[in-house]
Structure 1
């Protein structure tokens, strides 16, 4: 069975994660409960005429994928796989508002056409004239992992040599107001938001676009090997440790073999206990990393987590800003990522040098 390598990454987030080495320009915003993406210069990647008609999520996906492909030194791929939780929510809101405001008459179709979840993957394909397999997964908080698993299986089974896979989600005004109403997002005026050791419900919301070029061969640009991936819809808190031990055993590993664990803490006191139990027990002697204080929580935030893990393996450094304990290792060769959202959609991702 062929191995899967991460040969290029492109990440747009609430931090300046493009045109930098690894979080050297990152700033922790403790005062806002919604984090917005730091925009690149779109005209460097997309013509201003085309860009004018595109929603932010589409533009972010095109730019992130361009960065990933440039790093991997490829001009085209065999397949494009996208994961998204909410799709192009800005255009969805725009179209629904137009329906109401215009009394269901005289509607322009642009916003509707561009509101579908698969628009990002389609626009990336049009940009590079890729006529291969193009698929979009909309699976809540495992949307990105579903795409990652699909890509890994295709490379292992020799169906593709080079695949672009990513996760994209954008903020929308109306959906944010609904999330706040539902209590998903932390209450306004409750800052500073510390993320770790929070005592209130809700999380800091964010948006982002992260893409990866997965290939069947190791190159100079290689970040890491994508070793294995597992998805579970529902798990109880007391089942997580056993699940991880079994997952590692499948790959001939034990907890002591893990050089660092990346946990998806998001500040929600109700569900962060899933991570806290692991941090205080099974992985008490392992370097621990968290990242959602920098990018916020959204359905495909775990893509930012994979970008973080890939950077750690390649640079062999962990920036102080993402350390949640002070334990260090002489080398970071094997990293485990664990993510869940609201107690559901659990994913375990294993990468190695």
Structure 2
């Protein structure tokens, strides 16, 4: 009985500590949504992240807000992605996955090759180059987190890579919808562009839903399939680490590295599994058509809340500490992947 009371007290404490930060993110999201309605081309997500970054630069949120901001930036976004699955069917997920493979594999190849070449030219070598390349080519911070223990990266390299990726996530959310409108991309073409050329899931969702609901649905499926690419990449990195360890090379596996099964469970995020399950439930007709608009509106607002929180959590000093060369590498890879995505769509007739 006492154990139950302690658990309830702990749960109540956790809720109480997250509410202030979530409340601030929601307030910013409400303001951002109003701006998005006044300027539809922006949507709510872009103003949300811009306002959040502005607040973080002027008045860095303190410890009182930190737990709620972290919760909103991570879990609110993940639940929003799950809700997006209610707008699709399994047949659509399979079709989009197959259609996107040529562009997806092409951008991944260009990114990894570019990381090797540009990294050598800029003097960014070793684990940092690997992490920035994998983060840009696959799925941002999630890919970095998955690859870091495989290659035995030190925490400083991980922090630099995540900071670099984060900067270009923000840049993508702001600039990609504008680029899409300037090029006159269709909803499907922009969804493929965002799904293959933007790093983190949060930024893919934000950029694509800003462009349109159809683009958002298409992009998240592309991103789901793209995220699975981390599995063969990490297996390849593990094999390379083992070979270099045997030959006494510099690349060493991390001490006490988790088993391959444990790592596999981490490489496929639960919310992407939830997204697929929601699509399956919708395919079976368990979600009424009348519920779709409300679910779509809810997921869009949750995305705006999450992006507002991500903006609030921006650490500008960490970006400065990363230095110019990692940022230059991230910029070159960001441009390379974007141009490759658009170029391959043009070559394959998708544009």
TM-score if structure 1 supplies the norm length? 0.24
TM-score if structure 2 supplies the norm length? 0.24
Higher relative contact order (CA 8 A, sep 6+): 2
Structure (1 or 2) with the greater strand fraction: 1
Structure (1 or 2) with the greater helix fraction: 2
